[in-house]
Amino acid sequence: MQKRFVAEREDQPGDAWLARFIAGRDETERWYLGQGLEAPPTARECRAALQRYMPELVPQYDRVCTLAGDDDLAHRILSHYRPPPVFHGCSIAVWLDDDGPAVVRNYDFPLHIISDRFEMTAWSKRRVICKAQRPWGGCSDGMNEDGLVASLTYGGGQAQGLGFSIILMLRYVLETCSCVKEAVEALSSIPVALSQNVALMDRTGAYATIFLGPGSAPKVTQDRTCTNHQEVVPHGTSSAIRQQTLIDALDDPEMTLPALVGRFFEPPLYSRQARSTTAYTAVYRPRQASVEYLWPGRTWKQGFEQFDEGIYTHDYGELT
C-alpha cells in the first residue's frame, strides 16, 4: 500500500484550506457523527465551549466557519467538541542523554484515515510545525518555535465525555504555551472527550507525561515512555509489551539516540497491521527547533528556519 504525504507552509487558513475541507467533508462528517451517538451540541453550544476553554482559538475558529459558510453541521465539526470514540496505537519515548533532549514517537493508525499533511503555520505569535489532522487545526504531534513539543497516544479507556478532541487540545497548547509547566496547566483545565495520554517536552529538557480522561482528574507523571494505557498496566497486551520494550531500551546503559530510533522500526514497536499501521516515526529536538519525520529509507527534516515544502509517497508494501 502507498501513502502520499505533503509538507506545506500555510500561515493562515484560506482558500487552500477550504478546498481541502470540501474535498474531505464526507469523511469528516462520518467521523464527527460517529455511530450510535446522541445528537451533538448545537453550533452555538460548541462555540460557547470553545470560548470558555480555549478562547485564543476562537478568532481562527470564526475564520474557518466564515470560510465554510452558513453550514451549521460544519461549524459543529470544526469545533472538535464532543467527537466520537477513535482508538489507535502509538508509542512514545523521552530521550534525555547524549544528542538530547528529544521525543521519539511512532504514529500508528489506519493509513486511509490519517491526513497526508505536515505543515508549518503562523496563526498567532508562535509558529508551529506539526502533523496536521482534519477537520481543522488538529495535530497528532508537533512543536512550536519556543521549543515546546507535544505528542499524543490513545489512553486505553472506553469512557466518553462531553469534551474536546485531543488533537485540538494539542494545537491549543502549541499556540499558547512556551514550556511544559504552562502546557500541563492548560491541558488540565480543558475537558477531554476520550482517554488520552500526552507527552510534553521543552527546550530546557523539562518533560512530563499527562494522563487525561473524561470525568477523571488529570494525572501528571515523569514517565519517559507512553503507549496505550495509563496507570494500570494491562498485562500481556500490545500496549504493555511496547511500553516494556521502551523501558528496557532506556534502561540500557549502552543505548544511544540513533539506536533508540532504530528500535522504533522493529517489532513490537513498528506495526505492519492494516488496522493500525506505523504511518511514520518522528524525532523532535526542541533545542535545535527541528523535527525529523522518518520512514524506512527516508528522512524528512524540518525546522522553523528551513521548512522544505514537497511531496513524498511511501510504499508500505503488503500489510497484514
Cα distance between residue 304 and residue 121, in whole Å = 10
Within-domain flag for 165 = yes
Last residue of a domain, one of 10, 44, 79: 79
Q: Once rounded to an integer, what is the mean pLDDT over residues 253-281?
A: 96
Contacts of 10 (CB under 8 A, 6+ apart): 16, 17, 119, 120, 121
Residue 73: is it exposed, middle or buried by C-beta count within 10 angstroms (0-12/13-18/19+)?
middle
What band does 233 get if pLDDT is binned at 50, 70 and 90?
A: confident
Q: What is the CATH number of the domain that holds 126?
A: 3.60.60.10
Quick one: pLDDT at residue 195? 94
Residue 188, pLDDT > 80, answer: yes
Last residue of a domain, one of 79, 113, 135: 79
Residue 119, pLDDT > 60, answer: yes
Within-domain flag for 68 = yes
Mean pLDDT (the chain) is 94
> Which of the two residues, 6 and 25, has the higher pLDDT score?
6
Assess whether 101 and 60 both reside in one domain: no
122 and 11 Cβ atoms separated by less than 8 Å: yes
Q: How far is CA 204 from CA 42, 200, 302, in A?
A: 42, 12, 20
282 and 290 Cβ atoms separated by less than 8 Å: no
Assess whether 191 and 64 both reside in one domain: no
Cα distance between residue 233 and residue 46, in whole Å = 35
Assess whether 199 and 288 both reside in one domain: yes
Q: What percent of the chain has pLDDT over 90?
A: 83
Kindly write down the DSSP assignment for every residue of 221-257, as one continuous string. Answer: E--SEE-S--SS--TTSHHHHHHHHHHHHHH-TT--H
Where b means 16+ CB within 10 Å and e means fewer, 241-274 reads ebbebbeebbeeeebebeebbebbeeeebbbeee
Identify residue 161 by its one-letter amino acid code.
G
Assess whether 223 and 248 both reside in one domain: yes
Name the pTM for this structure. 0.95
85: Cα within 13 Å, side-chain hemisphere: 14
Quick one: pLDDT at residue 157? 84
Contacts of 1 (CB under 8 A, 6+ apart): 111, 274, 315, 316, 317, 318, 319
Q: What's the domain count of the chain?
A: 2
Within-domain flag for 305 = yes
Residue 37, pLDDT > 80, answer: no
CA dihedral 139, 35, 233, 192 (to 10 degrees): 50
Q: Which residue's entry shows cell 529536538?
A: 285
> Which of the two residues, 114 and 57, has the higher pLDDT score?
57
Within-domain flag for 73 = yes
Kindly write down the DSSP assignment for every residue of 131-199, as one continuous string. Answer: EEETTTTEEEEEEETT--EEEEEE-----B-SSB-HHHHHHHHHHH-SSHHHHHHHHHTS-BSB-EEEE
Q: Tell me the helix, strand and coil percentages in the chain, rounded to 5.
A: 30, 30, 40
Within-domain flag for 318 = no
Assess whether 73 and 97 both reside in one domain: no
- Nearest Cα to Cα of residue 174 among 124, 210, 213, 136: 124
Assess whether 233 and 264 both reside in one domain: yes
Domain that holds residue 156: 91-309
Helix (H) or strand (E) segment spanning residue 19: helix 15-23
Assess whether 122 and 234 both reside in one domain: yes
Quick one: pLDDT at residue 309? 97
137 and 168 Cβ atoms separated by less than 8 Å: yes
Within-domain flag for 237 = yes
Assess whether 101 and 66 both reside in one domain: no
